[in-house]
């Protein structure tokens, strides 16, 4: 039932409001709500928040911005579940002050209002800090003094100092509190980080991959992500280029998980031992890197689960287990899991579908628990959209209850609403359509949707210009400029991005004109690379990642603003910190083959400058002085981007 005051549409929130919105430690959380009541009395409001488990609430006053929309912000300091509430009340002091000013201007008698004000101050005095109570009592007395001029009495009771004392003090007369809104606060790495995907087997196993970590760290990456490191099945093993017949030396796809050596909690002996993996994790930590593992819930025909739990798989009418398909692709070496099993055929009659499902889901959770115990806190989740939403809704909070610092990246290139739902129910980050957004209008439209729209309150994008599965857009047979420009876009448009190894060497040969996969894909063979070959983009990547780390504006998502350029091959956007102390302007030539030039139309108010200002090109090192909002830029393929630090003119 509605009360006197209405509080509704509280944000941040997810699409349905049934799951927590997302924040991160050190990141400002903007809270807003529609707040109104009947009549013309003035309202006051505040936001309350706390980490669940804390006894006391933190408070911040809210301000009405426009059209009964109120806003406030706070910065969480703890990882884990939080709750937010909004309180509102009639600000009787501000209302009285407004009414007295109006009546005084009309020349009306104010004796009744002065007495009303004195009584109000006496009623509110017990609600303020003890040090201010005497001041309110003196003000109430002064308002009643008949031997003073009216101006003196009004000033004593209604001046700004009294208003400041009463600001944010709730009036119990009609204090209204909203329902509680949930917020999940992640650690900072959930918001910002650079991922590097590495196949350990191509480096000679864990021991060889450890030697690669220094180069990965020197390029400025934060996370080294490993595809599945588990035993690989031999039944229907794929050969080079995804052929159906594997040769004796073909290693198979790492995603065909499970063999006679074990399943998801075992290490492929060709990579080393679990002790070798532990050393790899330790060396990564020493280099300032975190290790992310692939969490792929599927099995090869040789996985122990196939033998021990046939009910966990889909069966055809002839009794055979159905392999995975994504037409026209076929994965004969992979069995998808049936997350809604009907119980073991011919098994114990007491084993129901519910108990079979519980056993399967707990086994899947056990995989995460196992690798967390070996120091892994970040998981890239393979194809989560092919598993039930109910499973993720249960699994992620179940693990976070004991390990709130874990991070889950959803690899779901699927329909937008499905991707959004996965984020809503708990996934920390999401792969995106960035790989296929190449035109300026596409990039501007897409970033406006995911960074400035309501999804940004719970869905964190992670931009990947390439993956082992995807070689797309200008990278296909593209020149180094294509790799440079796409890298700059990924690394500066969103706080989190990823890159599959070989990108720095500009590997650009697709399987075919229509197939987006790589020719001689590393998914099916061991690739030996010469990392120090001439023309490597490693120095360029290091420079961009260094810029990212030095500019806090690039660690934020919802601060991107686009500026107009009169050439569609030039895209221009800026990012600024909340306090305006760090402002970065990025200009990119989207044409990897030709020099492009443009006149920009900058919104100087967004950049925090007026008239003339300087920009330092963090990529090239040059400093330019620009006069007004319409500078000229020219970018050639040798350096197809500017990353400009905007500075007031000295």
Active site residues: 382, 411
Neighbours of 38 (CB within 10 A): 8
Residue 328 preceded by cis peptide, ω within 30: yes
Look at residue 6 and give its three-state secondary structure: strand
Sign of the alpha-carbon dihedral angle for 32, 37, 43, 44: negative
Of 549, 574, 543, 563, the residue nearest 639 (C-alpha): 543
Using CA atoms in the order 468, 472, 478, 483, what is the torsion angle rounded to 10 degrees? -70
Give yes or no for a cis peptide into 448 (omega within 30° of 0): no
Identify the residue whose tokens are 């063999």.
259
Contact at 8 Å (CB) between 393 and 365? Answer: no
Residue 584 parent element (H or E): strand 583-589
Torsions phi, psi of 228, nearest 5? Answer: -50, 135
Distance of alpha carbon 388 from alpha carbon 364, whole angstroms:
13
Q: Report the alpha-carbon distance of residue 522 to residue 264 in Å, rounded.
A: 21
Give the other-Cβ count within 10 Å of 168's Cβ: 16
Beta-strand ranges (E) seen in 139-213 are 176-177, 181-186, 193-197
Listed in order, strand segments (DSSP E) in 140-232 are 176-177, 181-186, 193-197, 223-226
Distance in angstroms (rounded) separating the CA atoms of residues 23 and 80: 10
| CA neighbor of 312 nearest in space, from 363, 267, 261, 380 | 363
The residues near 359 (Cβ < 8 Å, ≥ 6 apart) are 309
Instruction: Give the span between the Cα atoms of 314 and 309, in whole angstroms.
Output: 11
Cβ-contact 554, 548 below 8 angstroms: yes
Contact 256, 523 (CB under 8 A): no
Phi then psi for 615, rounded to 5 degrees? -130, 130
φ, ψ for residue 158, nearest 5 deg: -125, 10
**How far is it, in rounded angstroms, from Cα 81 to Cα 75?**
14
Q: Is 548 exposed, middle or buried (0-12, 13-18, 19+ CB in 10 A)?
A: buried
Query: How many CB atoms are closer than 10 A to CB 76?
Result: 22
Are 544 and 642 within 8 A, CB to CB? no
Residue 617 has φ and ψ, to the nearest 5°, of -75, 105
Count the Cβ atoms, other than its own, within 10 Å of residue 338: 18
**Distance between CA atoms of residues 97 and 504, nearest Å:** 66
- Cβ 487 vs Cβ 525: under 8 Å: no
The CA distance from 384 to 296, in Å, is 9
Question: In the structure encoding, which two tokens stand for residue 180, read together?
Answer: 């509680």
Distance CA 573, CA 570 (A): 10
CB atoms under 10 Å from CB of 400, counted, come to: 20
Q: What is the largest CA-CA distance in the chain?
A: 107
């Amino acid at each position: 039932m509605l009360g006197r005051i209405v509080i509704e549409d509280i944000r941040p929130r997810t699409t349905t409001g049934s799951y927590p919105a997302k924040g991160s430690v050190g990141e400002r959380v903007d809270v807003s709500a529609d707040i109104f009541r009947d009549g013309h009395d003035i309202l006051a409001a505040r936001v309350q928040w706390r980490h669940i488990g804390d006894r006391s609430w933190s408070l911040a006053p809210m301000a009405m911005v426009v059209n009964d929309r109120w806003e406030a912000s706070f910065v969480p300091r703890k990882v884990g579940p939080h709750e937010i509430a909004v309180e509102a009340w009639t600000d009787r002091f501000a209302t009285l002050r407004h009414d007295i000013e109006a009546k005084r201007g009309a020349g009306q008698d104010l004796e009744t209002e002065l007495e009303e004000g004195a009584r109000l101050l006496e009623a509110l005095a017990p609600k303020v800090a003890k040090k201010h109570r005497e001041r309110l009592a003196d003000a109430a007395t002064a308002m009643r003094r008949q031997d003073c001029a009216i101006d003196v009495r009004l000033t004593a009771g209604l001046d700004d100092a009294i208003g400041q004392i009463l600001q944010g003090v709730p009036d119990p007369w009609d204090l209204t509190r909203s329902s509680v809104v949930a917020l999940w606060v992640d650690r900072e790495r959930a918001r910002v980080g650079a991922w590097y995907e590495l196949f350990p087997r191509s480096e000679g196993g864990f021991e060889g991959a450890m030697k690669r970590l220094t180069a990965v760290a020197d390029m400025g990456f934060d996370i080294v992500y490993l595809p599945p490191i588990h035993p690989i099945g031999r039944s229907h093993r794929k050969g080079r280029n995804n052929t159906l017949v594997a040769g004796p030396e073909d290693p198979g796809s790492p995603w065909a998980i499970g063999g006679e050596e074990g399943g998801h909690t075992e290490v492929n002996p060709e990579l080393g031992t679990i002790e070798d993996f532990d050393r790899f994790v330790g060396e990564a930590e020493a280099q300032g890197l975190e290790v992310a593992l692939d969490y792929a819930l599927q099995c090869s025909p040789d996985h122990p689960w196939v033998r021990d739990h046939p009910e966990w798989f889909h069966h055809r009418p002839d009794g055979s287990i159905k392999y995975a398909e994504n037409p026209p692709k076929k994965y004969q070496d992979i069995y998808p899991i049936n997350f809604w099993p009907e119980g073991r055929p011919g098994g114990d009659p007491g084993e129901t579908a519910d108990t079979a499902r519980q056993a399967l889901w707990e086994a899947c959770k056990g995989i995460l628990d196992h690798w967390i115990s070996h120091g892994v806190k970040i998981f890239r989740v393979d194809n989560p959209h092919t598993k039930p939403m109910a499973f993720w809704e249960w699994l992620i909070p179940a693990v976070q209850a004991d390990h709130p610092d874990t991070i889950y990246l959803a690899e779901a290139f699927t329909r937008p609403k499905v991707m959004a739902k996965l984020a809503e129910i708990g996934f920390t980050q999401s792969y995106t359509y960035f790989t296929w957004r190449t035109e300026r209008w596409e990039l501007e439209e897409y970033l406006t949707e995911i960074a400035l729209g309501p999804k940004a309150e719970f869905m964190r994008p992670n931009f990947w210009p390439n993956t082992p599965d995807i070689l797309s857009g200008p990278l296909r047979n593209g020149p180094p400029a294509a790799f440079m420009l796409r890298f700059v876009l990924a690394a500066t448009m969103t706080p989190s991005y990823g890159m599959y190894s070989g990108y720095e060497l500009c590997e650009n040969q697709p399987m075919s004109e229509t197939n987006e996969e790589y020719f001689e894909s590393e998914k099916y063979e061991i690739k030996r690379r010469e990392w120090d070959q001439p023309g490597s983009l490693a120095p360029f990547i290091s420079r961009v990642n260094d810029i990212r780390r030095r500019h806090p504006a690039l660690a934020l998502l919802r601060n991107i603003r686009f500026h107009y350029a009169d050439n569609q091959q030039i895209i221009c956007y800026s990012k600024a910190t909340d306090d305006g102390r760090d402002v970065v302007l990025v200009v990119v030539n989207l044409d990897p083959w030709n020099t492009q030039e443009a006149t920009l139309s900058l919104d100087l108010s967004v950049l925090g400058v007026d008239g003339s200002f300087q920009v330092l090109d963090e990529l090239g090192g040059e400093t330019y002085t620009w006069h007004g909002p319409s500078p000229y830029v020219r970018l050639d393929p040798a350096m197809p981007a500017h990353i400009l630090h905007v500075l007031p003119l000295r």
